[in-house]
Copies of this chain bind each other. A is one copy, B any other.
Amino acid sequence: MELLPCRLSHVVIDESADRQTVFLEELGGGRHLAIGIGAMEAGAIQRAATKQRFPRPLTHDLLAEIIISCGRTLQAVRIVDMREGTFFAELVLVDPDGDVLRIDCRPSDALALLMRLPSAELLVAASVLADAGQ
């Protein structure tokens, strides 16, 4: 699978809607990908982007903490497929021996995690950018 490096460009939060939109931008290529996500996950991305701190760890903070505490590194977040308007993502985790683990997840959780572990790469399948990129 050909994967292209992207960055999280911005999140559009519409207080009157249940579904929010996160925009990814292809690095170098300049195409954009709009992914619909839930309000909770949009909030989790926005809070990390604006460096809001809460006294207690929120769910995606806990997710990041568990990955770190288990000695894993988040190497990449990949958007690997899009079928019938649903995007599919995976986390690529690496253990201390270099063994790689891929975990299926929703893009919204993957991106909320990426905001907390920003040294990971954001990669999107070339086929997804070709089909859904603008």
Interfacial chain B residues near A60, Cβ < 8 Å:
59
Which of A14-22, A23-31, A99-107, A117-125 contacts its partner? Answer: A99-107
The interface on chain A, measured as residues whose beta carbon lies within 8 A of the other chain's beta carbons, has a size of 28
For residue A9, CB closer than 8 A to chain B, the reply is: no
Interfacial chain B residues near A62, Cβ < 8 Å:
63, 103, 105-106, 109
Cross-chain pairs A/B with CB under 8 angstroms, 20 sampled: A40-B40, A56-B105, A56-B106, A57-B105, A57-B109, A59-B59, A59-B109, A62-B63, A62-B105, A62-B106, A65-B103, A65-B104, A66-B67, A66-B70, A66-B103, A67-B70, A70-B70, A70-B71, A70-B93, A70-B101
**Interface residues, chain A, CB within 8 Å of chain B?**
40-41, 55-60, 62-63, 65-67, 69-72, 86, 88, 91, 93, 95, 101, 103-106, 109
